[in-house]
Amino acid sequence: MDCHGSLSVDFIFATFMVLIMVGVMSNLVSDRFNMVDESKELIDSRSLAESIAGSINQVYAGGNGHYIKISTPPEIGKNSNYCIMVNSSGVLVRLEGRRGMAYMIPELISNSPTSLKSSNIILFPARDYIILNKQDGNGENWIVIINE
């Protein structure tokens, strides 16, 4: 009996069923991948905001003259279009129409070590910054954030 080039009905049917199942599940799998990417972005955003707030708290606790250098990542997830705002309310991260806030202890934030005044400081991706604790004439401790 010639047995070359023959396929059983079972095999053809099973292959057909597998192909149908793969087709049906592809949407679900792609949805899961998207979800993982988006979730990673959210977690990285929160982590970055908390990390900066933590550094600011650490500098504040260190007292006058204490400073820390920080670097902002070039992108969050696959998104390089993010920004971080630091003001007396806390550290606000903005990413693709989403926002999240990390609270911090100090309320006096300035962008200049020479003229201390309350400021809204924006940190951009892939930059280096110095967070400095500086005391004013009234004994108040200010957090100064400057671009290195």
Partner 1 sequence: MDVTGQISAEFIMLTGFMLLVTFCVAICIGHESELIHAMAAARSGASEGVIADSQAIYPDEAYSDYNRVHNRLISPSGVKIIKIDYLDQGYYPLYNRTKIQLRIYATGPPLNKTDLNCLGERINFHARKSICEVFKTENLTNSFFNPAFSDKYVFTTGDVHWI
Residues in contact with partner 1 by the rule CB under 8 A: 1-2, 9, 13, 17, 24-25, 27-28, 31-32, 34-35, 38-39, 42-43, 45-46, 93, 95, 97-101, 103
Close Cβ partners of 21 (under 8 Å, ≥ 6 residues apart): none
Q: What single-letter DSSP state applies at residue 124?
A: P
In terms of CB distance, is 47 or 64 closer to partner 1?
47
In terms of CB distance, is 77 or 110 closer to partner 1?
77
Q: What is the CA radius of gyration of the chain?
A: 26
Strands 109-110, 141-147: pairing kind: parallel
Name the minimum Å distance from CB 45 to partner 1: 5
Name the minimum Å distance from CB 4 to partner 1: 14
In terms of CB distance, is 35 or 136 closer to partner 1?
35
Of the candidates 49, 114, 126, 60, which has an alpha carbon nearest to the alpha carbon of residue 84?
A: 49
